[in-house]
Structure formats: structure tokens, C-alpha cells
Structure 1
């Protein structure tokens, strides 16, 4: 089944074409990760799928409905979008931020309900932010702040969640923490997760489906073991590498190298020196 698909989608900024006649299908209940070099259009595509960018032509279909025909609140009940580097008003508490996730369900007839409260508390619990609920968002560490924003996204209660580089500016421990949280949501609740990641090895580890983007088009799409090859990394990132198996997860692992230090060359050894360990 398909959660989101694009039909002959054309995206542009002014006269600059970003994507032309793009057709993709993102599987329902799976984790899809967009990869590609800086400026290739990953974030632009994600924004268009969330209806934050109006296409020049073509359509985005969300759960079988043309997203352009849906009311704003209806889209917000079906899909949540966490942009890159979101900011909150000064002094806003974590609890106040997370409550914003329930906005799509509010109107002048229906005010704050027990269901709203339950969803907020559950989001705080899932993200391990309950003990920080009364702290201001701007006083949190980078990892805590990102979890607060994810909690707000979860409080929306949508079956589909889009995230633009959710691990940016986080250290490795917090990157794993955030990705584990999203993985658990996918496994336990079958939420459809679509995100942009820069770390290809983490993308391979967590994704069911990888979409590689280059030259304003989808270069390859599919399961990590089918998509991530030495040829693809060279073509998409202009980078030489070796692909080995992740010893813990069995997924593809990219071992990159450039034009400087070469594979097998010991640190500090010149090109003419023979490493002592290799002397027989």
C-alpha cells in the first residue's frame, strides 16, 4: 500500500526548476529516507509532499486523496511535518509546545478535551520528556529540544510523519536516541515515517525504503541492500567507497575515501614506504 505518491510533479523556485515530472510512491507503514548531496532537492521534495510548497504542476496524493483538495486541518490530521531547525517563542514551555500539536482538532465548538490531554501526555511519555514539561524550550539541550519538537509532532496523532534532518546538530548518542524513537513508533504503531538524513549508514540501518536524489530527479529507490552500491555512492555523491556489511545489523555500510589518504595507507607513511606490518 502507498501512503504518499507524486504524479508528474514539477517543482520550482521562481524560474529555477527543481524537479520535473517526478513520480514516486512511498510505502505505507514503512520508514523511507531521502539521501543525496547538499542542494539536490531533498528538503524541497519533502516540503512539497507536506503541501508547504505549491507545485508548478502535477499532484501529491495522500492516502488516496489529492492533497491540494484537502482542507488544511484535514491534512494536519493525516500528516505531521517537522522542519529542519524549528524555533519556539522565547519562554514557551515544553508542555505548551506539545499542546500545539492538538491545534488541528480544535474549533469554537470543540475545545480542549480529555483525548487532547491524553495524546499530549502520551507524546511526552514516548519521548521521555514528561519530567521536563515545565521547562522552557530554549533552556533545553539540543537533544532534549529535538525530542520536545518530536513530542509535539506525535501529539498530532497522524499516521504519517515527515521530518527534515531530525538528527542535525545532535551528537551521535542523541542521533541514535531520536532514530530509535522513530523506529519504535514505526514498529509498534505502524506509523509511516519519511525523513531526510545525511548519514548514509544510519539511513541504511533504519530505512525500509531509500530514495537517492541527484540532478533534480530520483536516481534510485528501493531497499537499502538493493540501492546502496559503490557505483551509486560514486554517482550520487562523487565519492569513492567500499560497501561492507554492518557487523551488527547486516545492512550496507559505506566506507568512504577520497583522493588523499588511500585504503591500506598507514597514518604518516609516505607513498614509497612499505608498512612494517606488511613486510613478509
Structure 2
């Protein structure tokens, strides 16, 4: 397994509260890795640390074997892009202006906007299917369109590694699938290494090559969804009783929660 990102004895905290404790983790290169776990378990904190947005209390994050803490900000930005939860664009910003922000790491006093920058921005708009929206204000877009615009900005950054913190939050089912299909295609066609935090366990299983379950400040389990996800893990990590079967369309694990609800005997499937 080729290593893209690695943590060694990584401890993260907010003040005196330890969130992640001496965590060792390897994220494989060229795959989609999804962090899962209960609320407050440290998934987003871990992602922020990998992106060098949060300084470790101890330990290290390695990006292709190099300590990310010892790399310059621009060097990191040329290799790794992060899309945080619910990003907010400045008022009055157009889609094109937002996407152009992705080229900031390549700008210097001597080297301003170039033909290469223009190509990367155009390619990002095309890849996310929002070229026709480039003159629209970001504030005027639907939730799905807005999320595509932010992803286009990260694509314009032209990094091998994409980190996304709950990219489907607040989106309806249609837009969730659209965004995840887009990320899946980017991985398939361009072999980009994608690391995401997702709340929906079934969607995580469908799209991930590699699942990382976080619990008690540690990695509880890691591996292919079909080898990792079962009713015992769901009970341990989420405290929820469920049955785990197979998605009839994709063959990936499908979690069916126990709980109160109406039972209807149907003669035919939906």
C-alpha cells in the first residue's frame, strides 16, 4: 500500500482536552478514504491537522514522507487542498472569482496571472459542470451548485490530495449523490487521493476504498468497507443496533438501523 499521508504518535487537543491521542494512521495513495465515527469523536479535528490547520500537541503528520510542519505554506498548498465544513464566500463574489482563488499558491510578486492559471481554472469549471454559472454570484446558487463551486476552487489549486470535511452536509439526496459521484470520477480518472469526513455510513461504504472508524481518540478500525463494516462495529462506534446486509446495486455494506417504526408487509418491492 503506497503511503500518501501518515500520522505518527499524533496527539491533538483544544486547550487541555485531548481529542486524538497518539494516533498512528496511514492513508493510501490514489484512493478515497472516509473518516467515520460518532459526533465529537475527532474526525474533523484529525482532518484539520492533516491539512496543517491545527498544530499537534505532539507527534507528526507526514505528507509523502515529509513532515508537513516543516514545509512552507505554499509548498503544502501546491500538494494538498482542503474544503472545510460550510465555507462562506465574501459577499458579491462570482463563481469565477471564487475558483480563481485556488491559484493563489502559484502567484508571486514576479509571477502574476498566467495562461497556465487560466487553463487550470477553465478545467476546474468544466470538471465540476459549472462553466455556465461562472458569472453568477456564489450567494445566488443552490446548495449543490455552491458546493460544486467550492470543489472547483480546490481543483483549480491542482493538488494531488483533496481533503473534504462533510462535503454533503445540508444537501438533499440528489445533490449528495451528485457531489460524491463527482469526487469518485476525479479519483477514477485523475487518481487523486481524496480524504473525506462523512456522516452517512451507507454512502461512506459505497464510495470509499478505505474506511477509518474513529473512537476513543484512536483508530478503532481501518480497511475496505466490506471487511470492516459489520453490526458489531456499528454498535461499538455509534452505539446503534443494526443489521448489515449488502447494497443491491453496488454490493457494498448496507446498514439497516433497528428502531421503532411502522412494519408493512408488502407484496412487491418499491
Measured in 1, the distance between the counterparts of 2:196 and 2:266 equals 46
Q: What CA deviation, in whole Å up to 9, does each residue of 1:248-275 have, x standing for no partner?
A: 00100000113x34xxx626xxxxxxx8
Q: Does 1:21 align with 2:22?
A: yes
Per the TM alignment, residue 276 of structure 1 is displaced from its structure 2 partner at its CA by: 11
C-alpha distance 276-35 of structure 1, shift in aligned 2 (>3 A): closer
Say whether residues 1:184 and 2:179 are aligned partners: no
Counterpart residue number, 1:213: 214
Structure-2-length-normalised TM-score: 0.97
- What is the Cα-based RMSD across aligned positions, in Å? 1.3
- Using the TM superposition, give the Cα deviation of residue 27 of structure 1 relative to its aligned residue in structure 2, in angstroms: 0.2
Deviations 1:126-181 (A, max 9, x none): 11110000000001111100000000000000000000000000001100000010
What's the counterpart of residue 124 of structure 2? 123
Aligned to 1:57: 58
Matches of 2:149 and 2:247 in 1, distance apart?
31
* Equivalence for 1:235: 236
Q: Deviations over 1:185-221 (max 9, x none)?
A: 0000000000000110110000000000111111100
Structure 2 distance, partners of 1:266, 1:108, is 67
Distance across 1 between alignment mates of 2:67 and 2:111: 27
Question: Could you give the per-residue CA deviations for residues 32-89 of structure 1, whole angstroms, max 9, x where no partner exists?
Answer: 0000111111000000000000000100000111000000000000000000000001
Three-state SS of the structure 2 residue aligned to 1:204 is helix
The runs of at least 4 aligned residues of structure 1 exceeding 4 Å deviation read: none
Q: What residue ranges of structure 2 are gaps of 5+ in the alignment?
A: none
Within a 5 Å distance, the mapping from 1:80-229 to structure 2 comes to 80-229=81-230
Q: Secondary structure of the residue that 1:255 maps to in structure 2?
A: strand
Note the 1:29-44 alignment, pairs <5 A.
29-44=30-45
Q: What residue in structure 2 maps to residue 250 of structure 1?
A: 251
* Aligned mates of 1:145, 1:19 — CA distance in 2: 32
Name the TM-score, length of structure 1 as normaliser.
Answer: 0.93
1:266 to 254, 263, 266: 263
Aligned residues: 266
Instruction: Kindly name which structure, 1 or 2, has the bigger radius of gyration based on alpha carbons.
Output: 1
- Aligned partner of residue 11 in structure 1, secondary structure: strand
